[in-house]
Each structure stands twice: as C-alpha cells, then as structure tokens.
Amino acid sequence: MEFDAFRQFVESNIDWFRGRLPETESTLARYEADLGCRLPASIKWLLSTHGYWHATGIPNLNESVALTLELRQSITLPNHFVILADHSDGGVVVLDSSSPTLDGEFTIHDVDATALHGLDSQPLAPDIFYNSFGRYAESVLESQRSIIAPPDVTYDPLAFGD
C-alpha cells in the first residue's frame, strides 16, 4: 500500500488509530539508530501523528526495539529484522528491512516465534506475509473489529487521565 493510500485508510478509520502516547521525531530517530535500520515512513507517520491504539499493530515501539536487540544477541536474529509485535504463543510480527519495495515500504511477516531461530543460516518461512505496513494494519483492523465493541473503539483521553 502506497503512503498516500495508507494515510487515507487511517483517516477513514481514525477512531481505530487515534490513540495515546505519540512518538516524537527524536524517539523515532533514536529507535532507528539503535536498530541500525530505518523504519518505513508509514510507521513513523502513524506513531508520531496518532500514537498507539487498537489498530496500530505495534503495541509499544520502545519494547519492540528492546526485544529486537535482545533477540539479536540471544538467537542471532539478523540485523535487518525488527520485531513489531510479540504475541507470545500467538507468534511474532516481524519487519524485514533487507529489501525495500518501490514505495519505500518493507515486508511484514507474521510467524511462529520458533521461525526466528536459525535465521542467520536459513531464510524466513513466513506464515502470513504483507507487502507493506499498510496491508498489515488492514489485517489488524479487521481482527480488532471482530473483538472490540463499538463503544470501546474511540480513544477518550479523560478515561486515561491524559
């Protein structure tokens, strides 16, 4: 999904994306420096503009970066992979920054966590593949719509003391 199409998708489903704790340019730059790779513009725009909410697909980028760096040490996770979401026994969502698409996006893979072992010597065999963060966000939105009641969709800053 191209960036402009992604922005339109988010804006047309804004209650599912407008949330809490937006990232700043400086925190995003720090995450990229820590990871040694860039994040796609779609992720940076979404998290800096709208923060985290139901359909963001990334629960907490700071924790994602920490887990990625930990796995690079413990299981030799290659440097071009970034863990976006860890669903424990439900698998992990991984960004592969090794080959950007024509519009500067990266592929996203939803895999069983055991698929991460041995990636220094074998390719990733994804369970579910998305050609952009936007396509992944579409899937997250579809999933969230099936489990979150309509009254609970819209972010209410007063409910969180924000």
pLDDT digits over 7-21, tens only?
999 999 999 999 999
User: Considering the domain boundaries, does residue 92 fall inside one?
Assistant: yes
Q: Where does the chain have alpha helices with state H? A: 3-12, 14-17, 25-35, 41-49, 61-74, 133-145, 157-160
Q: Which has more confidence, 62 or 102?
A: 62
Domain extent for 109: 3-151
pLDDT in tens, 9-60: 999 999 999 999 999 999 999 999 999 999 999 999 999 999 999 999 999 9
CATH number of the domain to which 36 belongs: 3.40.1580.10
Query: Residue 103 and residue 73: Cα distance in Å, rounded?
Result: 31
User: Considering the domain boundaries, does residue 158 fall inside one?
Assistant: no
Q: Which of 108, 125, 107, 128 is nearest to 116 (CA)?
A: 125
pLDDT in tens, 145-156: 999 999 999 999
User: Considering the domain boundaries, does residue 161 fall inside one?
Assistant: no
User: Considering the domain boundaries, does residue 128 fall inside one?
Assistant: yes
Task: Please give the angle made by the CA atoms of 2, 77 and 6, to the nearest 5 degrees.
Answer: 10
User: Considering the domain boundaries, does residue 157 fall inside one?
Assistant: no
User: Considering the domain boundaries, does residue 156 fall inside one?
Assistant: no
Query: Residue 134 and residue 130: Cα distance in Å, rounded?
Result: 8
Helix (H, G, I), strand (E, B) or coil at 123: coil
Residues 82-101, mean pLDDT to the nearest whole number: 89
User: Considering the domain boundaries, does residue 159 fall inside one?
Assistant: no
Query: Residue 55 and residue 77: Cα distance in Å, rounded?
Result: 26
User: Considering the domain boundaries, does residue 162 fall inside one?
Assistant: no
Into how many domains does the chain fold? 1
Query: Residue 131 and residue 108: Cα distance in Å, rounded?
Result: 6
Structure tokens at 155: 């972010």
**Which residues is 81 bridged to in the sheet?**
96
pTM for the full model?
0.91
